Structure 1
Amino acid sequence: MATPQDENLTHFGYKTVLKEEKATKVAEVFHSVAAKYDLMNDLMSMGIHRLWKRFTITLSGVRRGMQVLDIAGGTGDLARAFARETGATGRVVLADINASMLNVGRDKLLDQGFTGVEYVQANAECLPFADNTFDVITIAFGLRNVTDKDAALRSMYRVLKPGGRLLVLEFSKPLYTPLSKIYDAYSFSILPAMGQMVTQDAESYRYLAESIRMHPDQETLKGMMANAGFVNCDYHNLTGGIVALHRGFK
């Protein structure tokens, strides 16, 4: 993953922007798509995102009474599953930097009867929780949007309990060249057109495709997690490496 030479600059998709501008630009993307976010997830992945998230729940090892933080939790798919697993004695916090996404997630889970989930608007780079708070932390399809990923991983490490685990579910690098070519054609042609049709916003989905290409590959992200302090880091390639689930322990 190429990095802009100026330390004050970062990537926003294929564009180079000032670091302080990126969070605002990402926020604009998710304000735009929040209302149709779940529908687009199903359309874009043909429903396979549900299997990726189910695998994440399985590897999380979540049990009754645990404290769980879902960062960039969006519309609450993981938080809902965690609430079922942790029960009345547990704690589930859905955190997101974007107020629109957080509101959609809150409304959705309340409508479904999940009244015990906590909602916190928070930046992953500086999480507003005490050290050693959570047994499990997840971030699904959110890390690539973070400006300083290393700072975010250190922040997650800090609030995780000793022995706790972090799971990062994110788009990654396809393992096979033919699959990669098909994926590129889909991402840069079909995906923006689908975004325009469903949300009247092709540009946000063009950013999505670009942000995926700029995200660290499997081995690079594994190294970043180790540098942040996590041990026994590993990853599982899903759907031919289009998505990878990284795991690390404190």
Structure 2
Amino acid sequence: MEMNEREEKHEKVHQVFQTIYKKYDSMNSLISFNRHKAWRRKADETVGAREGEQILDVCCGTGDWTLSLAKAVGTTGKVVGLDFSDNMLKVARAKLDVTPLKNVALVNGDAMNIPFSEASFDRVTIGFGLRNVPDYLTVLKEMFRVLKPGGRIVCLETSQPKIPVYRQLYFFYFRFIMPLLGKLFAGSYKEYAWLNESTQKFPDREKLVQLFHAAGFEKVSVRSFMGGIAAIHHADKPLRKAAD
């Protein structure tokens, strides 16, 4: 993707999430038939967070996964939620304010240029955010950079079913039904039409595995849900740097 295309996608996605933030959570539940919560619980299990760990949740949005991870690492750990939409972070802060959690930091920042030093975190996560970034590999490399050697990355994302007919129905739903639901329940037709576009352009499971390897990760594994409409990719950062 050329630089001007990246900038255009960055601005477009920023505008989308600045617009839909108030209805984002309820629309997620509606669009996924409330399955996204079960998928995130499986993702939590895959993360395997331990007390005292430092975790970065990239593209944290309204903060549900961030807060869940914060409970898992306990008072001696810390979770940073990173997002470039200050409106989405406002929702996350409102949620945080009504919890007793003191181990969460919410940071306005760009996944393409994560504002933390190398090897800062034990684990990094990204939930339904990778498909919206200007360059998937750049973000994966950034997540690799800030992860400690031996640390784990977990990505929960929409995927593309392979089953004939089911695949066509899936894309029909995303292309026509989801934007209509966005218009009816959130007053945001074009924003949800964009989310369909980002889903269609996102790599399938196998191509995403290749991107994880290209970013430097090892032991890449995939778990699919509901016939392939969503998937968890997880991988580890090698303990030692690969030989040149």
TM-score range, shorter chain: over 0.9
- The equivalent residue for 1:46 is 33
Kindly report which structure 2 residues correspond to 1:171-210, keeping only aligned pairs within 5 A, or say none: 171-210=158-197
- Cα separation, 1, equivalents of 2:117 and 2:55: 13
For the aligned residues, what is the CA RMSD?
1.2
- Return the letter of the residue paired with 1:222: V
- The equivalent residue for 1:148 is 135
- Cα separation, 2, equivalents of 1:23 and 1:192: 20
Taking structure 1 as the reference length, the TM-score comes to: 0.92
- Return the letter of the residue paired with 2:46: L
DSSP 3-state at the match of 2:165: helix
DSSP 3-state at the match of 1:152: helix
- Cα separation, 2, equivalents of 1:34 and 1:190: 20
After TM superposition, the structure 1 stretch with the greater mean CA deviation from structure 2, 104-113 or 121-130, is 104-113
* Gapped regions of structure 1 (runs ≥ 5): 10-17
Percent sequence identity is: 39
- The equivalent residue for 2:99 is 112
Q: How many residues align?
A: 237
- Cα separation, 1, equivalents of 2:197 and 2:214: 26
1:32 to 19, 28, 42: 19
Does structure 1 residue 220 correspond to structure 2 residue 171?
A: no
- Cα separation, 2, equivalents of 1:176 and 1:236: 16
Decide whether the 8 Å contact of 2:156 with 2:231 is kept in 1: yes
Deviation at 1:178, TM superposition (A): 2.0
Runs of 4+ in structure 1 off by over 3 angstroms are none
- Return the letter of the residue paired with 2:224: N
1:58 to 45, 49, 52: 45
Taking structure 2 as the reference length, the TM-score comes to: 0.94
- Return the letter of the residue paired with 1:239: M
Decide whether the 8 Å contact of 2:159 with 2:205 is kept in 1: yes
Does structure 1 residue 79 correspond to structure 2 residue 66?
A: yes
Kindly report which structure 2 residues correspond to 1:115-126, keeping only aligned pairs within 5 A, or say none: 115-126=102-113
* Gapped regions of structure 2 (runs ≥ 5): 238-244
- The equivalent residue for 1:15 is none
Which deviations, in whole Å up to 9, do the C-alpha atoms of 1:43-75 show, x marking residues without a partner? 111110001100000011101101111011111
- The equivalent residue for 1:159 is 146
